Chains A and B, each alone.
Chain A
């Protein structure tokens, strides 16, 4: 218990210490700062930007990072991220862009004339800060990160200011015109142009000659003016976008409410904080649902794609897979344009975006930090691989079985394959030409994603609510897949549309599991197309680039292409119209990226390694712990000088009546001892080992007894003496009578047969019993030598048995005695003498610390087969209380596995004498009944050696008497019985021999009659009772 308490205390201490000294994240303090910048086409407009600067908490000069907020946000929305980033050792500056938060000015949509100029001046400001590391004078080491609106300013600034060293734009656009007026169709001929033109060609805002970046024909983004002109207006997103800018002062959807000073004018109510030209254009466009050249020109000015070729800063583009505003195609366009100039670019498609998803905040942060660590701090630059792979896709890893949460995997590829994938798979679609109509007014409209609400309506893994209105949609379906298909990129399909004029259609690719489940629209994305049908042809073919997604079609699932005439998120024509839609080529081309396929989806190594290791460990545990052999003692026990003292022999031996053969044996022993003496005298005091001490015991006797004669120091009454201790200890504790007697005995040993008379004389008042004991020593040694010859027949032989309690106190101390066949041996001793412990060791329940027990010559160990010849009843009965007496007895016998016929149930149960009570549950028994049943159980199979501990406890006098007869009769048949008891009168009547123990040591041993007789001799015919002798022996006599 103490150890447990100490362990708990130690653990608690360690825990508290660890908690106290655990390094906590350094504290970061932001410094609010208003920075005045000058911008405008003519550099004449003063704007006050509301900023917060977070110096690196460790001091020193650190790289700087500008954190830009999203549309509708302010510097406050970046605060948490800024603090985390500063803790990573950066100087971080957040600001509210012009027109947002507490900054002045109007929103110019990341225009190079306005916002870009602002940020350039923020970089100037950073260059003057003492905390910021400089590359050159006025050129700080700086990176920019931000999402959406903030991502675009990162790209734009990097293009216009080459002091920027790394950027991490997230969920942002490449071409704002395309984002708001997308058209996913490419028509080989006719009014629409191809998608292979260089981006931004002929755009007025382009500051220098754009180097043409090749773009794939299948790209979802068409960036030329005419494509945007024919694009389908993304009505709802545009409305939300604009509405946020207008209503920024009143209620902001994405950020905390912040109020600007001043009353609201009509102009403010109409345009909010937008610049007037943006406001005008939006209102015109939203009314018609068609792009105008001015609108396209204006939006292009704010589009990174026009200037992406100038970006020299390594760029990590993070784009959301669930984003109907800026779908993956925008990151693709940016990546291609930037990479074309040799600038390092990485892409990540994460589970998030403007439509919701998980967001993966921590993962994005880790990726951003890794990117900045590499390109701002220069960490890992020398290493072979980049910390951020060129292309990473977040995939659904199923549900974590422990937390039941969705888990995400991040397979990586070393190069970015583009939306066309590294390979393509053609999946055949079936379906006839179908008639669809555009309803008047465009209502009711099909639903794919509801902007701003997508995350709320849809589940995380489903495509959200997707409804196609009947009559408005044509469906083409594949056969069930025979193998899983992992789509990564933008699938393409060719359709033929028959009708008149210009068809506004929406194409989506569903994942259909079976009839019972709703089809899934991956990421809830839809490809809007505008197909111009030449008047003379009556029909037109178009290649539709379906939305870029990463989606796994499982085996048995089908692909379904649906073409509808309406979608809630887009502006559709109000005039009713009818079209026929058919597949121009009967297959959809599915891009796949095999380099990503090797995702770490396999079983974790520990799943099989751990049980294997555990089984090995278990085997080791079991094989090393097989047994506790103590080889030291066995040979000593068998040796000539072994201390075994059998109780009967000494008393039959010559001490008083000197039987010849015993006398001769005695002299033999004497010789042996003398030899030992001669050999061992010199070395004796250093003898530490128990059994060597026994061998030297004789030496000790001689040595102390000879000079001292009757000296009390001859403390060797103990049958098996430990001289090293006895010499000092015994003499000191004043156990004089005892010790003297023993000494006398020993002395007599030394001087041969004559010694007895000397002993008597020498000790004077010494106890006669002690003399007997001394004789025991001698005789015991003699008998042992005989026993060594006769081998296995001895029912019980204990030698040098020692057992210590856990606290070190000896429960049994160097005990040796021996029981012969046919004896009823009484084991006597006061409480704590070690009787029960000895019996437990006989049963193999307790391991001796030293010495051994042999039953019929076999050494006793736990479960030793020889124990089957031992019947035992120790420390009370042990029965299953819920079973009847008979069941208990029978099941116990069955548990021994021995034949039923050998059990002798009837004899045993007769001894128990329970009668009908035998059929009752044992829990109803009285103490005496249980006692009798237990003795009966011990006698089952009539064992050759019966060990009974206090058998008469709880029995009434007639039963005691009966028990006495039973035991006597039992032994008479050649079996052996060992009984421990406190009831000395009982022992006197039952037992033939007695062993007396005290404090774990053997005090006396011999036939009862001898014990009594010797006492009588000393006391001159007082008619002693065993009780007197016993009390005398254990030294408790008053």
Chain B
């Protein structure tokens, strides 16, 4: 008998257990509270702010159209948060996952339980991605709810051209938007996860991922890089707006998803490879 009774490597760290372990954390609850409150804060901001009489004028920016309908508002909420807030949320859920265990010293007990290293990473990654996905999904949905309650249910007005798309035509498009937002955040998730396996400091992992993200955003602004910028992970971040135009355009989202999946696959593979060989000294 070489194992304890009832021990089987593929039964270790069930997803449910990891989910519960992470759920009661303040950062999890706090982040979700923030994401759920943000649409309401924006609603209040729009309500108490000076009412602009610019309706129907030439300035058709997304923020000007936010109060047109619940759908417009949800799109606006997503657009203002996709570039940073969601990045932080995803980096938090994925970057914190291994590093915080290392920080609490509980990682070594999990590994000595023993949970095979690949399995530990896999289960943690799945749960972290689950939380990230929940964050990305919950925000526009709450935006839709808040916006519909505050501004009513109406057709969506497209920024820029002012065209309208019927509300029920655009709902599946909204699914595409959220799906793309998920895929595009995969890079952040993978990056944060990789750093998380390399450091004992949860803040370092989250900060590192967000920091690299910011560097990419800055590089993206350097027009001299030309076509190289297309391969920056941040470049296609807003491609989901193509799903909210009258004629759905997949090309940008396809490129964005391609870049995102590419980076994510490699980063996650490196994370597994490194962690497998790592001397856990925390």
Contact = CB atoms under 8 A, between A and B. Distances in A.
B117 interface: yes
Interface in A372-422: 398-402, 404
A862 to B, nearest CB: 5
A849 to B, nearest CB: 10
Interface string B245-282: 01101011111111101110110111011001101110
Contact of B12 (A844, A856, A896, A902): A896
A290 interface: no
A262 interface: no
A869 interface: yes
A536 B212 CA distance: 82
A618 B269 contact: yes
Contacts of A867: 112-114
B64 to A, nearest CB: 16
A604 B236 CA distance: 15
Contact of B105 (A611, A792, A875): A875
B2 A614 contact: no
A397 to B, nearest CB: 9
Interface residues of B, number: 76
B117 A878 contact: no
A894 interface: yes
Contacts of B268: 618
Contacts of A876: 105
A379 to B, nearest CB: 24
Q: Categorize the interface residue count of chain A.
A: 35 or more
Given A603-B254, A880-B106, A941 B4 contact: yes
A628 interface: yes
B229 A617 contact: no
A607 B231 CA distance: 11
Interface string A930-945: 0000000100010110
Nearest to B7: A868
Contacts of B13: 895, 897
Given A615-B265, A865-B9, A868-B7, A878 B112 contact: no
A517 B238 CA distance: 25
B211 to A, nearest CB: 14
B114 to A, nearest CB: 4
Nearest to B112: A843
B235 interface: yes
B242 A872 contact: no
A846 to B, nearest CB: 4
Contacts of A628: 277
A401 B251 contact: yes
B112 A846 contact: no
Interface in B10-41: 11-14, 17-18, 20-21, 24-26
A614 B281 contact: no
A898 B6 contact: yes
Contact of B273 (A604, A622, A844, A898): A622
A875 B200 CA distance: 15
Interface string A866-902: 1111101011111111110001000110111111001
Given A843-B111, A867-B114, A898 B258 contact: no
Contacts of B1: 856
A897 B276 contact: no
Interface string B103-133: 0111111111111111100000000000000
Contact of B21 (A792, A870, A880): A880
B104 A844 contact: no
A864 interface: yes
Interface string A222-254: 000000000000000000000000000000000
A456 to B, nearest CB: 13
Contacts of A554: 247
A516 interface: yes
A404 B21 contact: no
Given A603-B251, A876-B105, A880-B106, A894 B14 contact: yes
A881 B106 CA distance: 10
Contacts of A624: 273
A22 interface: no
Most chain A CB atoms below 10 A, which of B101, B113, B164: B113
Nearest to B258: A607
Given A621-B273, A627-B276, A902-B4, A401 B265 contact: no
A867 B110 CA distance: 11
A857 interface: yes
B77 interface: no
A732 interface: no
Nearest to A625: B273
Contacts of A619: 269
Contacts of B169: none
Contact of A878 (B104, B164, B242): B104
Given A606-B258, A617-B269, A896 B3 contact: no
Interface string A155-186: 00000000000000000000000000000000
B113 A895 contact: yes
Contacts of B118: 863
B258 A611 contact: yes
A856 B3 CA distance: 9
A864 B116 CA distance: 7
Interface of A is mostly: loop
A897 B4 contact: no
Given A614-B261, A614-B265, A625 B276 contact: yes
A19 interface: no
Contact of A895 (B4, B12, B257, B280): B12
A398 B249 contact: yes
Contact of A847 (B18, B255, B262, B277): B277
Nearest to B246: A513
Given A401-B251, A516-B164, A862 B276 contact: yes
Contact of A862 (B111, B164, B239): B111
A227 B162 CA distance: 43
A399 B114 contact: no
Nearest to B108: A845
A868 B265 CA distance: 32
B265 A617 contact: yes
B114 A863 contact: yes
Interface string A829-847: 0000000000010011111
Interface in A573-589: none
Contact of A899 (B6, B119, B257): B6
Given A400-B252, A516-B163, A897-B11, A878 B6 contact: no
Given A401-B236, A617-B266, A870 B112 contact: yes
Interface string B212-243: 00000000100000000110000110110110
B8 interface: yes
Interface string B157-188: 00001011000000000000000000000000
Contact of A863 (B104, B107, B115): B115
Given A617-B265, A863-B9, A941-B4, A401 B242 contact: yes
Contacts of A882: 24-26
Contact of A864 (B21, B114, B261): B114
Contact of B251 (A398, A404, A610, A880): A398
Nearest to B110: A895
> 8 closest A-B pairs (Cβ-Cβ)?
A401-B252, A878-B105, A618-B269, A897-B11, A401-B239, A863-B116, A878-B106, A625-B273
18 contacts: A513-B163, A516-B163, A604-B255, A610-B262, A617-B269, A618-B265, A626-B276, A628-B277, A844-B112, A845-B112, A846-B279, A867-B112, A878-B105, A878-B108, A880-B25, A882-B26, A895-B115, A902-B4
Interface of A: 398-402, 404, 513, 516-517, 554, 603-604, 606-608, 610-611, 613-615, 617-619, 621-622, 624-628, 792, 840, 843-847, 856-858, 862-870, 872, 874-883, 887, 891-892, 894-899, 902, 937, 941, 943-944
Given A607-B258, A611-B265, A895-B113, 9 more contacts: A399-B249, A402-B252, A610-B259, A621-B270, A878-B108, A882-B24, A895-B12, A895-B18, A898-B4
